[in-house]
Amino acid sequence: MAVTLYGAILSPYVRKVRILLAEHQIPYQHQFIPPRGQPDWYYDISPLGRIPALTDGDLKLADSAVIAQYLQDSRGGPSLYGSNPADAARVRWLEKYADYEVAPHSTFGVFFPRIVARSVGESADEAQVQRTLNEHLPPLLDYLERELGNRPWFLGQQFSLADIAVGCQLINLAHAGELIDEYRWPGLSSLLSRLTARSSVSSILPAEHALVAKLTGRL
């Protein structure tokens, strides 16, 4: 069945699904939907209007975590949820932590005001961005650093959706000019390097960089 992904490529949730589609080697079409001013027909696929959404033939799915689970269940292949129920629960927790605890600060508190706000006619409060960077984000990153420990991935040697979900937030920070401090968060910093070296990620980043350059007037 034909798979279509809807959304804009700089959304961390859209990126999460693009990486998963590549990891699972699922061919798909990509239809651009902006996070603001979505067309009316899109609400039939994504009832809250949010991106990403995905269709697989007649099936309509919204929410990156729902889509991630569906891709794993429907296509099989190497598990991105670890190899036992405890691992799977840990992956889901870390995915939720990245999507609901880190994202409000990394993506909506730093990336959006720095990179997107001006292009959609909104003003950006750099003082608020600095508070986010100095006060809100560090304890969240400290927790993730402790969870990672000295291991390459959150599940140890096994790459998982947890690495993708956390990495997607770190990529939005990097797009906003905030590569995380490798002396304070060495584990997360090297996880990000390992993640961006995977072909599922390195293949999608050039288009993202070009778009960030365009939005920030560097092109």
Residues in contact with ligand GSH by CB under 6 A are 11, 13, 35, 49-52, 63-65, 99
Integer CA distances (angstroms), 169 to 71, 86, 94, 111, 192, in order: 21, 24, 12, 9, 10
* CB of 13 or CB of 185, closer to ligand GSH: 13
User: Minimal distance in Å, beta carbon 184 to ligand GSH?
Assistant: 26
User: Minimal distance in Å, beta carbon 115 to ligand GSH?
Assistant: 12
* CB of 23 or CB of 63, closer to ligand GSH: 63
* CB of 47 or CB of 77, closer to ligand GSH: 47
User: Minimal distance in Å, beta carbon 156 to ligand GSH?
Assistant: 25
* CB of 54 or CB of 192, closer to ligand GSH: 54
* CB of 49 or CB of 138, closer to ligand GSH: 49
- The residue ranges of DSSP E strands in 52-208, in sequence order, are 53-56, 59-62
Going edge to edge, which strands form the sheet with 53-56? 29-32, 3-7, 53-56, 59-62
Angle between helices 12-23 and 161-175 (to 10 degrees): 130
User: Minimal distance in Å, beta carbon 25 to ligand GSH?
Assistant: 22
User: Minimal distance in Å, beta carbon 194 to ligand GSH?
Assistant: 23
Integer CA distances (angstroms), 53 to 5, 8, 104, 143, 184, in order: 6, 11, 20, 30, 36
